[in-house]
Amino acid sequence: MTSAKLQQDLLNADESIQYDAIVIGCGVIGPCVATALARKGKKVLIVERDWNMPDRIVGELMQPGGLRALRSLGMIQSINNIDAYPITGYTVFYNGEKVVIPYSYKQDVGPVEKIDGLVFDGNDKVLNDKYVTIKDYEDDERERGVAFVHGRFLQNLRNIVSKEKNITRLQGNATEILKSTKDNEVIGCKIDIETRGKVDFKAHMTFVCDGIFSRFRKELSADHVPKVQSSFIGMSLYDAVTPTKYNGHVILGPQHLPILVYQLSPNETRILCAYNDAKTPQDIKSWMKEDVQPFIPKSLRPSFDKALEEKKFRSMPNSYLPAKQNDITGLCFIGDSLNMRHPLTGGGMTVGLNDVVLLIKKIGDLDFADRETVLDELLDFHYDKKKYDCVINVLSIALFSLFAAESKNLKILQRGCFKYFQRGGDCVKLPIEFLSGLRPSPLMLTKVFFAVALYSVYINFEKRGALGFPLALLEGISILYTAAVVFAPYLFGELIG
C-alpha cells in the first residue's frame, strides 16, 4: 500500500457509527487497550495525531512485569524484529564498588495469566530473531526485561492494531471531550481531521491514553496536575562497552546524582543523567563535564566523551501524578494520562500495561451500552489496581530520594542501601522483585524499606565506633525519621489518597 493510500485510509473514519469505544492516543497503552477490546468483540475507533514513527527517549526499557502483561494481552511479539536488546538484571555502582543483581527465577513468580479471547496461536510467546530468542525468553529459568528504540516498539504495536478487523484507525487531533447536555455524561470526542475539519465521533466509552502531556486529564479534576521537580538529560552512546553485558546500570555516589545506562540495540546505548531541577542547566556540556564525566565507568568513557563533544543532548521531565478515580460515566483514563511515577526505576510501561490487563479483565466482557455497570467496575478498578501500582510508584520516589541524596541522612541511607545489596540473598532478591514488577506487595515493600533504614543505622554505628555511640544513637533516630518522611507520605497517598 502506498503512503498516499495509507494516509487517506487514516482519514476516512465514519462518524455516523456508534462505536463501542474510542481510544485517544496510540502510544504504548492506547494500542493495547484498543487491541484487547477489539479481540473482545468491541467496535473500536483509535485516534492518533501522527502515525509516523516518533523519536523519543522515554519508554525504552521494559521490566519483566511489563513483558508478562504483554503476554497476557497476546502482544509480546511486539518486541520482535526491532533489534531489541535483552536485559537480565542490574549492576549497581557506588563509589567504584559494584553489585550485580539478576532478575528473579520464574518458579518464584508463577505462570503468566492468559486472558480469554486475547491469547491464541502462540501470541503470548516471543519469536526467534537475531537478539530476542525463544531460548532466552521462553526456556531460560529467569525472567527477562528488554530495551529497545521506543519508536520501533511503538510501530510494532501499531502494526498489531492495523490487523484487527474491529479497529478503525484515524489520524487527527482530539480537541474536545463530548458530553450530553442532559446529564453531563461523556458520549465521545471531537476530532480535528486534515481535509475534513472538526468532526464529532460518538461511543459508549472513551478511553484517554494521551500520555504524560495529556490535554484532557483535568476532565477528572482541576487539580489533577503532575508535579515536576527534576529531569533527566540523555545522550546516545554508540558502540559503547557496557560494564555488564545485558544489564541496566545504576551509577550512584555521594558526590553526584544518579546516572542510568542501558543498551537499546546492538549499537546504541542510552545514558540518562539526573538533574535536580525541572529546568535543565543552561550550559549542559559544562555541567556534564563537571558533575557526570568523572563518575562514568572506564569502559564507557570513550563513547561518553565522543557523545559529549557532539552535544546531542535530549531531556525529559520527571513527573509524579497519583491516580484519581475514573468516576465520570463514559470516560476512562489509563496510562500516564492518569498516573505517573519517577522514571528512575523504568516502571512506567509496566504499570500501564498491568493496568490494561486488569481493566480488560473487569470490563472486557461487558456490554458498553450498559454504562452504569461499566462505571461501577471502573470505580472498583481504581482500588484493585493500587496493590500493584503502589509498589512501583512508591519505590520510584523513595529510591530517587535516596539515590539523589543531598542531606546527610539521605547520604547515609544511600550508602546503607548499597551495603544492603552487597549482603546478597533476600537483600537483593526482594528489591529486584519490587523493581521489576514481580512482587506487588506494599506491606513487604514497607518491611524491606525500613530494613534498609535500620541497616543504614547499623552501618553508621559501626563507622562511629564505641566512642561515637551517643552521637550515632542520635543520628540513628534522625535517619529513621528521614526514612519515614521519604517513604510514608507517598505510601499513604497511593493506598489511601
380 and 429 housed in the same domain: no
Total count of domains within the chain: 3
**CATH code, domain with 277:** 3.30.70
**CATH code, domain with 377:** 3.50.50.60
pLDDT band with cut points at 50, 70 and 90 for residue 5: low
Dist CA 392 CA 344 (whole Å)? 10
299 and 332 housed in the same domain: no
Averaged confidence pLDDT in the chain: 95
3-state secondary structure of 143: coil
pLDDT of residue 296: 98
pLDDT band with cut points at 50, 70 and 90 for residue 6: low
Q: Is residue 270 part of a domain?
A: yes
pLDDT band with cut points at 50, 70 and 90 for residue 496: confident
- High-pLDDT (> 90) share of the chain, %: 93
pLDDT of residue 1: 44
Does the structure show a pLDDT above 50 at 75? yes
Asked if 322 contacts 494 with a C-beta cutoff of 8 angstroms, the reply is yes
State the average pLDDT over residues 224-253. 96
Dist CA 114 CA 281 (whole Å)? 47
Residue 139 domain boundaries:
3-90+98-223+321-388
pLDDT of residue 2: 46
Give per-residue pLDDT as tens, 168-179.
Answer: 999 999 999 999
pLDDT of residue 4: 54
Q: Is residue 459 part of a domain?
A: yes
Of 19, 37, 11, the residue nearest 334 (C-alpha): 37
103 and 168 housed in the same domain: yes
Asked if 159 contacts 153 with a C-beta cutoff of 8 angstroms, the reply is no
Cell numbers 535516596 label which residue?
402
364 and 475 housed in the same domain: no
